[in-house]
Structure 1
Amino acid sequence: MTDPHTIDLPDGRPLVVHDSAPGAQERSVPVVVWHHGSPQSGALLAPVLAAAEARGLRVLSPARPGYGGSPRVPGRSVADAAADVAHALDALGVTRCVAVGASGGGPHALALAAVRPELVTGVVTLAGIAPYDGTETWFTGMADDGGLRAALDGPAARERYAETAEFEPSSFTDGDYAVLAGAWADLGDDAARAGREWPGGLVDDDLAFVRPWGVALADVSAPTLVVQGGADRVVPRHHGERLLAGPPAGELWLRPRDGHIGVLAALPVALDRLRAA
């Protein structure tokens, strides 16, 4: 694997961006910007690479602030992180891309399309979380909502929660565990590493999810495919329906039997569907 790019942002911070085709000769290859989940390092994942390479696509995977060598930014919003990615894409000479986000990456893929509509030609969210609306129903169906609830009480409360938080096994279905033991095994390994080495990234993600995102879903003009698992216990199916209420060119693809990880198997077909739109 090649070394990632380190992009200097306008405020002097570095942003780490992993690239499946970093050579200058690859600049004309169509680009997928992969917005990783929470927690993840931003490193390129084998199933994402396989889906992209089979379709002649280049993958760029930025590490959000707080993850994978990109320094934390206290108080960052979803839109702030999207603006960082937009700057990195400009620095890399990317003029058109498809934004794909998994789980906590979903909001960031949508935000990139909202802040830079001329750059993003399509969006896919896979088990993406919806904007917090201040209601109790937003949490309905989550097997473990402790981190998000702690985030409602502010940064100090969320940091305290992180000190003792442990993964809730019932968050995943049997199907999720099977997928993690197979094709998406490196996602599980990467998430465990990110949780150990960059716990602040997850804290800052949760804080950003329960605050205003800084963009409106109605500003996402690109064709948008919202893929949601009907059996998801991390980001329940109603979040997909909430996301669909925003983008004018949105489509919901509900996969009734999929859980939070199982739904990722839809990535290849989702890319085909979006490219055909």
Structure 2
Amino acid sequence: MTAMSTRQESGSVSRRPGQCVCALRPPLIAALVHTLSVPALVWPRDLGGTVLDHLTLANGDRLDFFIEGEGDALLIYHHGTPAAGPPSADMVEAATSNGFVLAELVRPGYGQSTRQPGRTVADIAPLVASLADHLGHDRFVTMGWSGGGPHAIATAALLPERCLAAKSLAGVAPYGEPDLDFMAGMGEDNICEFGAALQGAAQLEAFLTEAHAQMRDVTADQVVEAMISLLPPVDQGYLSGKEAEEMAAELRWSLAHGIWGWFDDDVAFTLPWGFDLAAVTRPVQIWQGSEDLMVPFAHGQWLAGNVGGAQPYLVNGHGHLSLAATCFGPGFAALREAL
């Protein structure tokens, strides 16, 4: 959902639904994607107590997770697409100040988490349960940002006895709903990305391989230009200083093992999620900014009207990234009250 710009300069172009005007070079040799070495990444902040750990699932798969904090309550964080990597300093501060242990689940295909080709959004639930068990927490709350939003909602829907509340921050809504134009209002790069996903696996692999080649070494100085079609002015302003450093490092970490976590996320977003959103009984905060070009405002409006237990926080003037500065504090405080 975050792609390096690959647009060609052009005049007005008419586009069929799902058709993209982005130009893609031929894909890299596929073997290179599978065998990329993982660089020693320098993170732009002192990670303090943040630890990258992993657990081995019952079927032998590996599941990576980041963890920080010494609170008595567990907050499981679902990262964006492709935005694995240590949680931001602001997120850690908001979580730990509310007494949480913050655990970021690194989805299959990212980091060294074993890939699960064909996974659906609903498939996150048993992974969350395994992580909570591993950390010794019977009950917990959850949050997802962007591509993590559907996974947070799935956690609340499918583990209602354990997940007592959820928060979706700029989360994507389901594809194919008759009352939601899924790509309307997206920046050009996301129209290209989802258009490729809808065309098929080969087209999506080609698109993401090209984007990967351009983004895997992105720096803080390059990140705004790299994502320019997806960033309204308020998000461009947000991406300065440590936020730009964190975003660039997050992308580099996410892509160090290739495209497959990103690929599987995109495919999952175009398929049925695997559960009934209207049947969610736990409170679910729906945070969405009116200026968002990655996940348009209409997605938040749709979720607010269709997720059972939805608590809408539809905010004027904010984008996909800037909304974080507004919502971390009150959102985490409300999650804490649910425990």
- Give your verdict on TM over 0.5: yes
Task: Report the equivalent of 2:142.
Answer: 99
Could you say which structure has the greater relative contact order, defined with CA pairs below 8 angstroms and 6 or more residues apart?
2
Q: Which residue identity does 2:193 align to in structure 1?
A: G
Of 140, 163, 176 in structure 2, the residue corresponding to residue 133 of structure 1 is 176
Q: How does 1:123-162 map to 2 (within 5 A)?
A: 123-133=166-176, 137-143=181-187, 144=189, 145-162=191-208
Deviations, residues 84-142 of structure 1 (Å, cap 9, x unaligned): 12222122211111110000000000111111101111111110000112568111000
- SS at the partner of 1:184? helix
Q: Which residue identity does 2:310 align to in structure 1?
A: G
Equivalent residues of 2:111, 2:253 under 8 A apart: no
- SS at the partner of 2:175? coil
Instruction: Please report how far the alpha carbon of residue 168 of structure 1 lies from its aligned counterpart in structure 2 after TM superposition.
Output: 4.2
Aligned-residue CA RMSD (Å): 2.0
Give the Cα separation in 1 of the matches to 2:114 and 2:161. Answer: 28
Q: Which residue identity does 2:186 align to in structure 1?
A: M
Q: Which residue identity does 2:251 align to in structure 1?
A: A
Equivalent residues of 2:85, 2:254 under 8 A apart: no
C-alpha spacing 1:101/1:235, structure 2 compared with 1 (3 Å):
same
Of 65, 77, 95 in structure 2, the residue corresponding to residue 17 of structure 1 is 65
> Is 85-94 or 130-139 further displaced after alignment?
130-139
Instruction: Please report how far the alpha carbon of residue 59 of structure 1 lies from its aligned counterpart in structure 2 after TM superposition.
Output: 0.2
Task: Report the equivalent of 2:210.
Answer: 164
Q: Which residue identity does 1:263 align to in structure 2?
A: L
Give the Cα separation in 2 of the matches to 1:193 and 1:261. Answer: 19
Task: Report the equivalent of 2:275.
Answer: 215
Task: Report the equivalent of 2:308.
Answer: 248
> Is 122-131 or 147-156 further displaced after alignment?
147-156
- SS at the partner of 1:122? strand
Task: Report the equivalent of 2:329.
Answer: 268
Of 32, 38, 46 in structure 1, the residue corresponding to residue 75 of structure 2 is 32
Of 221, 237, 255 in structure 2, the residue corresponding to residue 178 of structure 1 is 237
Instruction: Please report how far the alpha carbon of residue 259 of structure 1 lies from its aligned counterpart in structure 2 after TM superposition.
Output: 0.8
Q: Which residue identity does 1:151 align to in structure 2?
A: A
Structure 1: state its 5+ residue gaps.
Answer: none
Q: Which entry has the higher C-alpha Rg, 1 or 2?
A: 2
Give the Cα separation in 2 of the matches to 1:191 and 1:82. Answer: 25
- SS at the partner of 1:242? helix
- SS at the partner of 2:285? strand
Give the Cα separation in 2 of the matches to 1:245 and 1:88. Answer: 30
Q: Which residue identity does 2:334 align to in structure 1?
A: R
Structure 2: state its 5+ residue gaps.
Answer: 1-48, 215-225
Q: Which residue identity does 1:271 align to in structure 2?
A: F
Q: Which residue identity does 1:246 align to in structure 2?
A: N
Percent of residue pairs identical: 36
Give the Cα separation in 1 of the matches to 2:242 and 2:286. Answer: 22
Q: Which residue identity does 2:305 align to in structure 1?
A: A
TM-score (norm 1): 0.91
Instruction: Please report how far the alpha carbon of residue 155 of structure 1 lies from its aligned counterpart in structure 2 after TM superposition.
Output: 2.1
Equivalent residues of 2:50, 2:86 under 8 A apart: no
Instruction: Please report how far the alpha carbon of residue 195 of structure 1 lies from its aligned counterpart in structure 2 after TM superposition.
Output: 3.2
Task: Report the equivalent of 2:4.
Answer: none
> Is 259-268 or 213-222 further displaced after alignment?
213-222
TM-score (norm 2): 0.75
Deviations, residues 60-82 of structure 1 (Å, cap 9, x unaligned): 10100111221221111111123
Give the Cα separation in 1 of the matches to 2:125 and 2:138. Answer: 15
Count of matched residue positions in the alignment of Structure 1 and Structure 2:
272
C-alpha spacing 1:168/1:84, structure 2 compared with 1 (3 Å):
same
Give the Cα separation in 2 of the matches to 1:15 and 1:200. Answer: 15
Q: Which residue identity does 1:219 align to in structure 2?
A: A
Deviations, residues 144-191 of structure 1 (Å, cap 9, x unaligned): 311112112232221011122365412112221222214534134212
Deviations, residues 184-228 of structure 1 (Å, cap 9, x unaligned): 341342124323543221111100001011122123211111000
